Amino acid sequence: MKLASLTMIDLSPLWLTAELALITTAILFVLSIPLCYWLAFSNFKFKVVIEAIVSLPLVLPPSVLGFYLLLAFSPENEFGKFLDHYFDTRLVFTFEGLIIASVIYSLPFMVHPLQSGLKNLPVSLREASYTLGKSKTTTLFKILLPNIKPSLLTGLVLTFAHTIGEFGVVLMVGGSIPGETKVVSISIYDEVQAMNYENANFYAGILFVFTFVILLSVYFINQTFTKTNPLND
């Protein structure tokens, strides 16, 4: 009986979730590198305001953030109306809307590890690079980033794992449209609501095992790198 019920499980939420997490992680990685460099080394007077905005998703209830994103994306409001009128694009209850919402919601999980890694590097690394005539861009990509590999890995994995587990934001912005916005977390909720606990357990078990394995891998790799990194001697 259990085998029969499992064969009826829709696997599309798994692939949709993986696609959403991969795209979100890639976007945040590209955006966060220059942002983290600026946050780590800038002397801007009101930098703390930017840091507070970046960290807001850590403490703001997902339903609150999702609600305001839903309002912003709605064609009934100015931003949503602008997108609909000039670009023929709607973000409410679409996969594209989920990507934008996920980028905003997972931002601190990428920024904080990278920013911390850059700030903890010896100042002499940057000074030596500048003394040799290297530009800030070259220093960042050739000197600084290669020396914060654990931070880079942590940011990538935490962002990916966090995006996979999103619920409140994706429910508010995307709803539960099969093949479009119905990710695994939404599938678990729907299965529980329908009292299909075996199916819910199947989805939840996959997320649990996957998340545990990737986090364990990150801690192991970081521990190994810490022991072999000459900068820690």
Q: pTM of the predicted model, to two decimals?
A: 0.88
Angstrom distance (rounded) from CA 169 to CA 201: 22
Question: Model confidence over 72-125: pLDDT tens digits?
Answer: 998 888 888 888 888 888 899 999 999 999 999 999 999 999 999 999 999 888
Q: What is the pLDDT of residues 10-42, one digit of tens each?
A: 889 999 999 999 999 999 999 999 999 999 999
Give exposure, 78-107, as e/b (b: 16+ Cβ within 10 Å). eebeebbeeeeeebbbbbebbbbbbbbbbb
* Contact call for residues 206 and 10 (beta carbons, < 8 A): no
Angle, helices 47-59/95-119, rounded to nearest 10 degrees: 120
In sequence order, which residues have a C-beta less than 8 Å from that of residue 132 and are 6 or more positions away? none
Please give the average per-residue pLDDT across 49-73, as a whole number.
93
pLDDT value of residue 1: 39
Closest CA to 212 of 156, 157, 148: 157
Q: What are phi and psi of 108, to 5 degrees?
A: -65, -25
Q: Is 157 left (phi over 0), alpha (psi -120 to 50) or beta?
A: alpha
In whole numbers, what is the pLDDT of the chain averaged over residues?
88
CATH topology of domain 14-42+50-227: MetI-like fold (1.10.3720)
Greatest Cα pair distance, the chain, in angstroms, is 71
